[in-house]
Structure 1
Amino acid sequence: MGFWSLLEVASMPVIQVLIISVVGAFLATDRCKLFPVEARSSMNKVVFVLFAPALMFANLAQTVTLEDMISWWFMPVNMGLTFLIGGILGWIVVKILKPPPYLEGLIVATCSTGNMGNLPIILVPAICDEDKSPFGNRSVCRTVGLSYASFSMALGGFYIWTYTFRLIKGSAMKFKDIEESKKTAIKSSNSDLESDHKTHLLGAPEESLVKQETGFWRKGVDFLHEILEELRAPPTVGAIIGFIFGAVTWLRKLIIGDDAPLRIVQATAKLLGDGTIPCMTIILGGNLIQGLRSSAVKPVVVLGIVCVRYILLPIIGIGIVKSAESFGFLPADPLFQYVLMLQFTLPPAMNIGTMTQLYNVGQDECSVLMLWTYLVAILALTVWSTIFLHLLV
């Protein structure tokens, strides 16, 4: 498979994202005025509460069985490593570049969270369909490749709506705390003018004792509460239910298959889930107009994220996959290894834009980061796919 053929295949899903983003940007312009901030916010809530959970459930229930979870056990490990290593590299980028506090979580999320959804679903079968595909029989390659890509998509959604969701939520809470602390500092400075030194001396010991007694238990309760809140997020609930239906045979037979009595449930969930990616991309494009005007993202931040996602992570990914192969952890299928390597090379997940819109923090900057990372992805995916194919075949 030649470089130019691979360029065409690898660029198609990325160009699709860019075209839909341009449509969203045009709808949000002052000339068109069909997609204002209020409309984007409302659509984003529908995506979060309805479309994304339906997508998670439909994909997991249909593509993931208990046997797949056992035989493909290294894929969730590999994906977890992409999030972990990307998060560490993103943290290093934050410490070096020192962006505004409200952008720290966004930068780490952009470095660690790849688009495990629509890109592999389009890219892997497209490579199988090529006449000179290195992965053997076209129909077998396409069927198996779709299973790998669907499993990757489902797992990615679970990681994104737990790990990445926590990052963006934490960034939003941090930003709000900073704003509130500024207001509190102003109020306290004013109240200090009305109090004397005796007031401070009397109040300090009691306050410190209360903090010592309640601090540990309060942190523990708050941590458990945060975990429960994240597990209650609609996409996470959809993913958990999808895992259950996929793993339990009799539940799976209720909704999956031509003879399933409740197959209409799966068909409806799939129909709703199909609206997730277009809606997320249109919202991202709508935010792009305002982001280009008022974004606080510096070029060096974009460069740092591009280096992490398209240089460091793919190199590390090759080392991890090849090491796993040498230890006998992987099935004897080069297509499976290709999907694992591809997970280290993908541009940032579109769901990040949904989260920033949901918490109203960094959505303009997110749209700008997405624009540049997806533009670079056209060439990066092609180059790295060519390298992966030469290593595997």
Structure 2
Amino acid sequence: MQEEILSAVVPLLKLLSLTVMGLILAHNKIQIIPKDTFKLLSKLVFALFLPCLIFIDLGRSVTLENITLWWFIPVNVVISMVIGFVLGVIVVLVCRPPPEFVRFTIVMTMCGNTGNLPIAILGSLCRSRANLFGKDCLQRGVAYVSFAQWVSVVVVYTLIYYMMEPPAEYYEIVEDESIKYGGGSEESDFLREPLITNNVQDDEEMQARETRTQGMRLKLVQKIRVVAEKTPIKNIFQPPIIASLLAKFVGSVPQVKSFVFGHDAPLAFVTDSLEIFGKAMVPSVMLVLGGMLAEGPNVSKLGVKTTIGIIVARLLVLPILGIGIVSLADKKHLLVDDAMYKYVLLLQYATPSAILLGAVARMRGYAVSESSALLFWQHIFALFSLSFYIFIYSKLLVALT
């Protein structure tokens, strides 16, 4: 029992030690490394280290057959977001955050970190001799995580980007778009006026219903147009996503794969160089996290009750529900018979809110300090919740195998 507990806690202790180093280096009283350096390191992680790691490990593991076998990984991300959305609504109803932060509360409960943090956890876990996953532990783990990362990015920069619109601006945009695309028309008028009265003839009722349908269609088109125009499509095709797409293409074509990967491959020197960069991802991302924690929580208007509600929903309740989802999927024979595959699915429910949400908040100018403070407290609590659930997941995987 003691060995099992240690095998679950030690990987997190390794990550914690890296985080503490980053915290010490960035602490205001010491500040051996300035904040700007951590920002630069964060950009290197995002633009270089993480894409290299994804391309190498996913490219080596993926095949056309695997693409069809791994279909449940992106589906699981969507399921976790749907459950997170429901939990976010419950948090709103129970904790009653300020009206301007209702959508923010739902978003922060809904979207977890499905990229760099799970990879960092796997990187630490696979270095342990007592890990459950055997040979090529990290390569398979990174491949599974990377396979579904595009789903999270697309959702964040479409639906979440739209939901993170400041409430006042949102209604102004819809109103402006209504004037721009339908101002003065009958359809636009029907968006603002009652369409059916109690004392009309049958033919007038039919006409009114048809007009109301047209008005609803116009309103839907206008909203879709707003989302399309306001969605930063270029942000969807970020370096990690491009690396993932390239890895899937290279891995799916045997002739190309043999040209890129393998000891005797003509481009082996390139992949070796990329692999060196990729190995810097795990320590770098934990140093960046330590630098973020060193800054401390910003002033937040979200409220202590709502903050606790989001943390409990995201880091305690959602992982329990995730165990049920993954166990049910396994009983229905929807999963690949690989302990690492199931572990990654479980991990998608246990991580704190995506750091990417903080970037979206800054882009939108909405709840910037609140997102920073919430991410701070979530990552503090996650050090304990992840240790607990990694132990639970290890016991569960032993039972399932």
Q: Shorter-chain TM-score category?
A: 0.7 to 0.9
2:165 corresponds to 1:164: no
**AA in 2 matched with 1:390:** K
2:13 corresponds to 1:12: yes
Q: How does 1:212-227 map to 2 (within 5 A)?
A: 212=188, 217-224=221-228, 226=231
**AA in 2 matched with 1:73:** W
Task: Tell me the secondary structure at the aligned position of residue 345 of structure 1.
Answer: coil
Task: Work out whether residues 347 and 374 of structure 1, in 8 Å CA contact, stay in contact via their aligned partners in 2.
Answer: yes
Higher helix share: 1
CA distance in 1, matches of 2:105, 2:185: 37
Q: CA offset at residue 10 of structure 1?
A: 4.4
The CA RMSD over aligned residues, in Å, is: 4.0
Q: CA offset at residue 150 of structure 1?
A: 1.2
1:98 maps to what in 2?
97
1:310 maps to what in 2?
315
Q: Deviations over 1:110-168 (max 9, x none)?
A: 543134433442354256x22xx6x4xxxxx3325334411232035323322234455
Task: Work out whether residues 315 and 350 of structure 2, in 8 Å CA contact, stay in contact via their aligned partners in 1.
Answer: yes
1:174 maps to what in 2?
166
- Would the alpha carbon gap of residues 21 and 174 (structure 1) be closer, same or farther in structure 2, given more than 3 Å must change? farther
Q: How does 1:116-195 map to 2 (within 5 A)?
A: 116=115, 117-122=118-123, 124-126=125-127, 129-130=129-130, 135=132, 141-166=133-158, 169-174=161-166, 177=169
Task: Work out whether residues 280 and 353 of structure 1, in 8 Å CA contact, stay in contact via their aligned partners in 2.
Answer: no
Q: How does 1:183-262 map to 2 (within 5 A)?
A: 207-209=183-185, 212=188, 217-224=221-228, 226=231, 228-262=233-267
Task: Work out whether residues 13 and 123 of structure 1, in 8 Å CA contact, stay in contact via their aligned partners in 2.
Answer: yes
2:366 corresponds to 1:365: no
Task: Work out whether residues 284 and 353 of structure 1, in 8 Å CA contact, stay in contact via their aligned partners in 2.
Answer: no
TM-score of the two chains, using structure 2 as the length reference: 0.72
Q: CA offset at residue 279 of structure 1?
A: 5.2
CA distance in 2, matches of 1:298, 1:354: 21
Q: Deviations over 1:297-342 (max 9, x none)?
A: 4322332222223322222122212212222223444454344323
Q: Deviations over 1:37-63 (max 9, x none)?
A: x66666655555555544443443233
Q: CA offset at residue 289 of structure 1?
A: 5.4
**AA in 2 matched with 1:160:** S
**AA in 1 matched with 2:324:** G
Task: Tell me the secondary structure at the aligned position of residue 292 of structure 1.
Answer: coil
Q: Deviations over 1:262-304 (max 9, x none)?
A: 2344334444445555555555554545553523343223322
Task: Work out whether residues 13 and 122 of structure 1, in 8 Å CA contact, stay in contact via their aligned partners in 2.
Answer: no
Q: CA offset at residue 384 of structure 1?
A: 2.6
CA distance in 2, matches of 1:385, 1:58: 26
Task: Work out whether residues 50 and 240 of structure 2, in 8 Å CA contact, stay in contact via their aligned partners in 1.
Answer: yes
Task: Work out whether residues 56 and 235 of structure 1, in 8 Å CA contact, stay in contact via their aligned partners in 2.
Answer: yes
1:77 maps to what in 2?
75
- Would the alpha carbon gap of residues 148 and 362 (structure 1) be closer, same or farther in structure 2, given more than 3 Å must change? farther
- Would the alpha carbon gap of residues 156 and 363 (structure 1) be closer, same or farther in structure 2, given more than 3 Å must change? farther
CA distance in 2, matches of 1:234, 1:174: 28
TM-score of the two chains, using structure 1 as the length reference: 0.73
2:239 corresponds to 1:263: no
Task: Tell me the secondary structure at the aligned position of residue 183 of structure 2.
Answer: helix
Task: Work out whether residues 255 and 264 of structure 1, in 8 Å CA contact, stay in contact via their aligned partners in 2.
Answer: no
2:111 corresponds to 1:112: yes
- Would the alpha carbon gap of residues 382 and 331 (structure 1) be closer, same or farther in structure 2, given more than 3 Å must change? same
Q: CA offset at residue 108 of structure 1?
A: 2.0
CA distance in 2, matches of 1:14, 1:54: 21
- Would the alpha carbon gap of residues 276 and 216 (structure 1) be closer, same or farther in structure 2, given more than 3 Å must change? same
2:364 corresponds to 1:388: no
Q: How does 1:43-62 map to 2 (within 5 A)?
A: 48-62=46-60
CA distance in 2, matches of 1:335, 1:55: 17
Segment of structure 1 superposing worse, 324-333 or 92-101: 92-101
CA distance in 2, matches of 1:350, 1:310: 15
Q: Deviations over 1:222-280 (max 9, x none)?
A: 44553844543443333222222222222222221112222344334444445555555
- Would the alpha carbon gap of residues 110 and 285 (structure 1) be closer, same or farther in structure 2, given more than 3 Å must change? farther
Identity of aligned residues (%): 24
